[in-house]
C-alpha cells in the first residue's frame, strides 16, 4: 500500500540531500521565488506569464468566481507560435527541437525548430483545408512519433482543441471520447512499433468511426507501412500535409481559448473530459519546466519518457519544453526494445542531461539490475525527475545512486491531469530533499492538508490534500458537465479544490503524498477507476457482479484485482476457472485497453456485502493484499469472505503478461 510506504518513510527517513553547489550557484530560480510569490501571488504569476509572447497584454490577472477561474483576462496569444515561431524569429531556428528515436534500432530523425515550424505550418494549412476550425475538436490517436507533437501544435495554431487518446486504449474508449467531445476529425496512423513489432492503430479508429457515426475526416500518418483498410473519409498525411505551403500566419486567441480536452478516470465509470485553456496553462507548464528542471535551453538535452496520451506528455513533452525552446529526446517504443538497456543507450547517445520518468519504470529497472545502466556513460545527467505516483524511498535512492551517479538532484513532482502542471515539487537549486517526498508546494501554489471536516491540520499532521487558491494551469471544467465539475472537485470541502489524494506534513513540515483516497487506482502511474473496470467486467454476458480493488504491487504501485460472480455455474475445476479469467481479462482489454487488464481475477459465488447491500471494498482490498481481515461484523454473510480468502490462497498469483 502506498500509504504504508509513505508512513514507513516518515518513521525512518532522516536523510537529507542538499542541492549540489554547481546547481545551486547557477540555478534559474532561487529561494527568492518563494518570497516573491508570498508577497504578491498574482504578481508572481504575471511575471511568469511575461516569459511568453503575448499579442495583446491582459488587463486582469485573475477573475475568480469559485469554482471558475479566468487567468490573464483580455490577453491574447497563439500557443503554437509561442512553442515554435518565436524561437525561429529569435534566430534559434537551427537548434534541435526533437531528437526522435523510433523503436527499430537506427530509426532516427532530427528536427530543428525551423523544420518543426515548417511542419506545423503545413499541418495547420492541411487541417484548414480539411475543414477544421476553432469550433471543432480533433481526436489524436498516434504513437510517439514527431507527427504527434506536430498535430497537437497544428491544432493549437488554428485554435481547434485537441483530445489525445492514448494509443493503448481500445476502440470502445475511442468511441466514448469521440462521442463526448463531438469530434468530427481524427488524426491517426497505420500503426506504430511496440515490443519489436508493428502494432496496428487504424483498425480501432475504423471501428470507432463506424460506431460513432459523426467523424468526417481521418488523417492517417504512414508510420509502419502495414496494410490498412481505406474509405473515402480517409486521407494520407503525406498527401495532404505534404503538398501544403510552409507559410501560415498564426491567429491570436484569447487567453481563455480552449487548448485541449484530456479524458481521465474518475470515481465513476464515465471518463471526464478535463478542459484546459491557453494562456494560464502555457504559463505554468513553461515556468515549472524551466524552474523544476533548471532548464538551460542552450546546453541541456531533456527527455521525458511519458506518452503524449497522458497529461505528462502534454505539459512536459509538447507544451512546456517547446515553449522554453528546449532540445529534447522523444522515443517511440518500450524500455526493453533492442535490449533492457535501451534507455541508457539513448541517454548516452544524446547526452541527456534532464530525465523525467515514473517510479514504476524505476522499479522495473531495479529488478533488471544495475549492470545495465553501468554499461553506459551517463555522466551527462544533471537532474532527475519523477512523476505519476508516490516514489518509495528505496527507489528514490536507487535512482539517485545508479542513474544519477550520486550527484544529480531528484525532483519528485506531484500534479494531476486536472492541475495541468506541477504543483508540489522541490526546486533543484534550493531544496534539501528527503528521499520519497515531493517536499512542498511550488512558489505561487497554496496547499492545505485538512481533516474530514475540512479543517486544516496545521503545520504537522495528515489528511486530505486540498488546494485553496486558484492556479494558472488549473482545469477550467469538465467538458459538457458543469455539475460534475462542481461535485467532483469542489463539493467535499466547499471553496477548496479536493485532489483525491491523502497527504501528510511531517514534523519538519515536509509534505508526503500518500496516494488516492477515492476509488481511483494508480497502476504504473496511470489512473484507472474501479468502476470503469467493473462496468467492463459486467458487460461480459457471463458476469453477474464484479468488484474491483487496487492492491499493492511492488513494481506497478497498484495492481488491479477483480472479484467476479458469474451468472449461473462456472465449473469449479481450476483449468476452466483460469480459462474464464483469461477470457474476462481479454474482454476488459477490448473494452478499455490492455493497461486495464486485472492482474488477478477471483471467481467467487458471492461478494461480501453489508446488510444494506453495499460491496465491502475495504475488506476485498485486505483480501487482495493478503492482510489480516478487518472488522466483518457488518457483513451479511461472513462465510463469503472465508470462501474468497481460501480461493485467494490457492489461486497462485495469476500474474498477467
Ligand atoms: C498521483 C499525472 C505521489 C496522484 C501527472 C495524483 C503522484 C494522480 C505524484 C494524478 C507524485 C502523480 N507523488 N502521487 N509525485 N504524481 N501522483 O492525472 O495520486 O495521470 O492524484 O497525472 O497521480 O494522475 P494523472
Q: With 90 as the cut, is the pLDDT of residue 587 above it?
A: yes
Q: Report CA-CA distances (Å) from 440 to 176, 321, 382, 447.
A: 37, 23, 21, 9
- Indicate the pLDDT class of residue 630, thresholds 50, 70 and 90: low
- Indicate the pLDDT class of residue 611, thresholds 50, 70 and 90: confident
Q: How far is the CA of 471 from the centre of ligand 1 (A)?
A: 17
- Nearest protein Cα to ligand 1, atom 3: 390
pLDDT > 70 in the chain, percent = 94
Let me know: does 88 contact 56? Beta carbons within 8 Å. no
Q: Is the CB of 511 under 6 A from ligand 1?
A: no
Q: How far is the CA of 525 from the centre of ligand 1 (A)?
A: 7
149-169, pLDDT tens digit by residue? Answer: 999 999 999 999 999 999 999
At what angle are helices 41-49 and 279-292 packed, to 10 degrees? 90
Q: Is the CB of 438 under 6 A from ligand 1?
A: yes
Q: Is the CB of 3 under 6 A from ligand 1?
A: no
Q: Is the CB of 473 under 6 A from ligand 1?
A: no
The grid cell for 209 is 468511426
Q: What is the mean pLDDT of residues 328-334?
A: 97
Q: Report CA-CA distances (Å) from 451 to 104, 502, 576, 603.
A: 51, 10, 47, 37
Q: What is the mean pLDDT of residues 392-416?
A: 97
Q: Which residues pair with residue 491 across a beta bridge?
A: none
Q: What is the mean pLDDT of residues 108-132?
A: 98
Which atom, in ligand 1's list, is nearest to the CA of 417? Answer: 18
Q: What is the mean pLDDT of residues 280-290?
A: 99
Give φ, ψ of 51 to 5 degrees. -70, -15
Q: Which of 22-36, 454-468, 629-643 has the lowest mean pLDDT?
A: 629-643
Give φ, ψ of 61 to 5 degrees. -65, -45
Q: What is the mean pLDDT of residues 272-290?
A: 98
Q: With 50 as the cut, is the pLDDT of residue 432 above it?
A: yes
pLDDT confidence of residue 654: 39
- Nearest protein Cα to ligand 1, atom 12: 388
What radius of gyration do the chain's Cα atoms show?
Answer: 24
Q: What is the b/e burial string over 462-471, where b = at least 16 CB atoms within 10 angstroms of the residue's CB?
A: bbbbbbebbb
Let me know: does 425 contact 396? Beta carbons within 8 Å. no
Q: How far is the CA of 208 from the centre of ligand 1 (A)?
A: 29
DSSP-derived pairing of the beta strands 60-65 and 68-73: antiparallel
Q: Is the CB of 503 under 6 A from ligand 1?
A: no
pLDDT > 90 in the chain, percent = 84
Which atom, in ligand 1's list, is nearest to the CA of 513? Answer: 3
- Indicate the pLDDT class of residue 657, thresholds 50, 70 and 90: very low
Q: What is the mean pLDDT of residues 366-380?
A: 97
Q: Is the CB of 499 under 6 A from ligand 1?
A: yes
Q: What is the mean pLDDT of residues 605-626?
A: 84
Q: Is the CB of 501 under 6 A from ligand 1?
A: yes
Q: Is the CB of 416 under 6 A from ligand 1?
A: yes
Under DSSP, the state recorded for 7 is: H
Name the residue of 412, 513, 517, 550 to mutate for ligand 1: max ligand atoms within 8 A of Cβ.
513
- Indicate the pLDDT class of residue 339, thresholds 50, 70 and 90: very high
206-243, pLDDT tens digit by residue? Answer: 999 999 999 999 999 999 999 999 999 999 999 999 99
Q: How far is the CA of 297 from the centre of ligand 1 (A)?
A: 27
The grid cell for 339 is 535490449
Which atom, in ligand 1's list, is nearest to the CA of 424? Answer: 15
Q: Which of 256-265, 318-327, 588-597, 617-626 has the lowest mean pLDDT?
A: 617-626
- Indicate the pLDDT class of residue 9, thresholds 50, 70 and 90: very low
Average pLDDT of the residues of the chain: 93
Q: With 80 as the cut, is the pLDDT of residue 10 above it?
A: no
Q: Is the CB of 413 under 6 A from ligand 1?
A: yes
Q: With 50 as the cut, is the pLDDT of residue 499 above it?
A: yes
Q: How far apart are CA 423 and CA 519, in angstroms?
A: 22
pLDDT confidence of residue 633: 60
- Indicate the pLDDT class of residue 574, thresholds 50, 70 and 90: low
Which atom, in ligand 1's list, is nearest to the CA of 516? Answer: 19
Q: With 60 as the cut, is the pLDDT of residue 125 above it?
A: yes
Yes or no: is domain 540-650 CATH 3.90.45.10? no
Q: Is the CB of 472 under 6 A from ligand 1?
A: no
Which atom, in ligand 1's list, is nearest to the CA of 520? Answer: 19
Under DSSP, the state recorded for 46 is: H
Q: Report CA-CA distances (Å) from 193 to 79, 103, 189, 222, 234.
A: 30, 6, 11, 12, 22
3-state helix, strand, coil in the chain (%, to 5): 35, 25, 40
- Nearest protein Cα to ligand 1, atom 25: 416
Task: Name 305's Cβ contacts closer than 8 Å, sequence gap at least 6.
Answer: 331, 343, 355, 356, 357, 358, 361
pLDDT confidence of residue 576: 75
Q: Is the CB of 264 under 6 A from ligand 1?
A: yes
Q: Three-state SS for 638?
A: coil
The grid cell for 406 is 550520486
pLDDT confidence of residue 575: 66
Q: Which of 23-32, 410-419, 546-555 has the lowest mean pLDDT?
A: 546-555
Q: How far apart are CA 384 and CA 132, in angstroms?
A: 39
pLDDT confidence of residue 626: 80
Q: How far is CA 645 from the centre of its chain?
A: 34
Question: 10 Å Cβ neighbour count for 597?
Answer: 22
- Nearest protein Cα to ligand 1, atom 8: 416
What is the pTM for the complete model shown? Answer: 0.92
Show me where the domains of the chain are located: 540-650
User: Could you tell me which of 259, 240, 231 has the C-alpha nearest to residue 130?
Assistant: 240
- Indicate the pLDDT class of residue 145, thresholds 50, 70 and 90: very high
Q: How far apart are CA 73 and CA 69, in angstroms?
A: 10
- Nearest protein Cα to ligand 1, atom 5: 416
Q: With 80 as the cut, is the pLDDT of residue 430 above it?
A: yes
Amino acid at each position: 500500500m502506498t500509504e504504508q510506504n509513505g508512513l514507513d518513510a516518515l518513521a525512518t527517513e532522516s536523510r537529507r540531500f542538499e542541492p549540489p553547489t554547481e546547481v545551486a550557484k547557477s540555478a534559474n530560480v532561487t529561494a527568492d521565488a518563494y518570497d516573491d510569490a508570498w508577497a504578491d501571488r498574482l504578481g508572481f504569476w504575471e511575471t511568469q506569464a511575461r516569459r511568453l509572447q503575448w499579442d495583446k497584454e491582459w488587463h486582469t490577472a485573475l477573475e475568480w468566481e469559485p469554482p471558475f477561474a479566468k487567468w490573464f483576462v483580455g490577453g491574447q496569444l497563439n500557443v503554437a507560435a509561442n512553442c515554435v515561431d518565436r524561437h525561429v524569429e529569435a534566430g534559434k531556428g537551427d537548434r534541435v527541437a526533437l531528437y526522435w528515436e523510433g523503436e527499430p534500432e537506427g530509426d532516427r530523425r532530427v528536427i530543428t525548430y525551423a523544420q518543426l515550424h515548417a511542419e506545423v505550418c503545413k499541418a495547420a494549412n492541411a487541417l484548414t483545408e480539411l475543414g477544421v476550425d476553432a469550433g471543432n475538436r480533433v481526436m489524436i490517436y498516434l504513437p510517439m512519433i514527431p507527427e504527434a507533437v506536430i498535430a497537437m501544435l497544428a491544432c493549437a495554431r488554428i485554435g481547434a482543441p485537441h483530445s489525445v487518446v492514448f494509443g493503448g486504449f481500445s476502440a470502445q474508449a475511442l468511441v466514448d471520447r469521440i462521442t463526448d467531445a463531438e469530434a468530427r476529425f481524427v488524426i491517426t496512423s497505420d500503426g506504430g512499433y511496440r515490443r519489436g513489432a508493428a502494432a496496428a492503430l487504424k483498425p480501432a479508429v475504423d471501428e470507432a468511426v463506424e460506431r460513432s457515426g459523426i467523424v468526417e475526416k481521418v488523417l492517417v500518418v504512414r508510420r509502419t507501412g502495414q496494410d490498412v483498410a481505406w474509405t473515402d473519409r480517409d486521407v494520407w498525411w503525406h498527401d495532404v500535409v505534404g503538398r501544403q505551403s510552409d507559410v501560415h500566419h498564426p491567429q491570436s486567441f484569447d487567453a481563455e481559448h480552449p487548448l485541449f480536452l484530456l479524458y481521465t478516470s474518475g470515481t465513476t465509470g464515465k471518463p471526464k473530459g478535463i478542459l484546459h485553456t491557453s494562456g494560464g496553462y502555457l504559463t505554468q507548464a513553461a515556468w515549472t519546466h524551466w524552474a523544476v528542471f533548471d532548464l538551460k535551453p542552450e546546453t541541456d538535452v531533456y527527455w521525458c519518457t511519458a506518452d503524449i496520451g497522458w497529461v505528462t506528455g502534454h505539459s512536459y513533452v509538447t507544451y512546456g519544453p517547446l515553449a522554453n525552446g528546449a532540445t529534447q529526446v522523444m522515443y517511440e517504443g518500450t524500455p526493453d526494445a533492442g535490449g533492457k538497456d535501451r534507455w541508457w543507450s539513448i541517454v548516452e547517445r544524446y547526452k541527456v542531461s534532464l530525465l523525467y520518468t515514473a517510479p514504476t519504470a524505476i522499479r522495473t529497472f531495479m529488478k533488471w539490475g544495475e549492470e545495465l545502466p553501468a554499461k553506459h556513460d551517463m555522466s551527462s545527467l544533471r537532474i532527475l525527475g519523477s512523476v505519476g505516483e508516490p516514489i518509495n524511498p528505496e527507489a528514490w535512492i536507487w535512482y539517485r545512486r545508479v542513474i544519477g551517479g550520486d550527484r544529480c538532484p531528484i525532483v519528485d513532482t506531484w500534479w494531476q491531469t486536472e492541475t495541468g502542471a506541477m504543483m508540489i515539487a522541490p526546486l533543484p537549486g534550493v531544496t534539501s530533499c528527503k528521499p520519497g517526498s515531493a517536499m512542498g508546494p511550488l512558489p505561487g501554489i497554496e496547499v492545505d492538508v485538512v481533516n474530514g471536516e475540512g479543517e486544516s491540520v496545521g503545520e504537522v499532521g495528515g489528511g486530505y490534500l486540498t488546494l485553496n487558491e486558484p492556479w494558472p494551469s488549473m482545469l477550467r471544467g469538465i467538458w459538457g458537465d458543469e455539475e460534475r465539475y462542481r461535485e467532483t472537485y469542489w463539493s467535499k470541502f466547499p471553496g477548496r479544490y479536493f485532489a483525491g489524494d491523502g497527504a501528510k506534513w511531517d514534523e519538519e513540515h515536509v509534505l508526503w503524498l500518500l496516494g488516492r483516497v477515492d476509488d481511483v487506482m494508480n497502476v504504473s502511474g496511470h489512473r484507472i477507476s474501479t468502476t470503469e473496470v467493473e462496468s467492463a467486467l459486467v458487460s461480459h454476458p457471463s458476469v453477474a457482479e464484479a468488484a474491483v480493488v487496487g492492491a499493492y504491487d511492488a513494481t506497478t504501485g497498484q495492481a488491479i484485482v477483480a472479484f467476479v460472480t458469474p451468472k449461473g455455474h462456472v465449473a469449479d475445476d481450476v483449468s476452466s476457472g483460469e480459462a474464464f479469467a483469461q477470457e474476462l481479462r481479454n474482454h476488459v482489454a477490448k473494452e478499455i485497453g490492455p493497461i486495464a487488464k486485472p492482474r488477478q481475477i477471483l471467481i467467487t459465488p458471492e461478494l461480501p456485502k453489508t446488510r444494506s447491500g453495499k460491496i465491502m471494498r475495504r475488506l476485498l482490498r485486505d483480501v487482495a493484499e493478503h492482510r489480516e481481515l478487518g472488522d466483518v461484523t457488518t457483513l451479511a454473510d461472513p462465510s463469503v469472505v472465508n470462501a474468497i480468502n481460501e480461493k485467494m490462497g490457492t489461486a497462485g498469483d495469476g500474474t498477467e503478461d
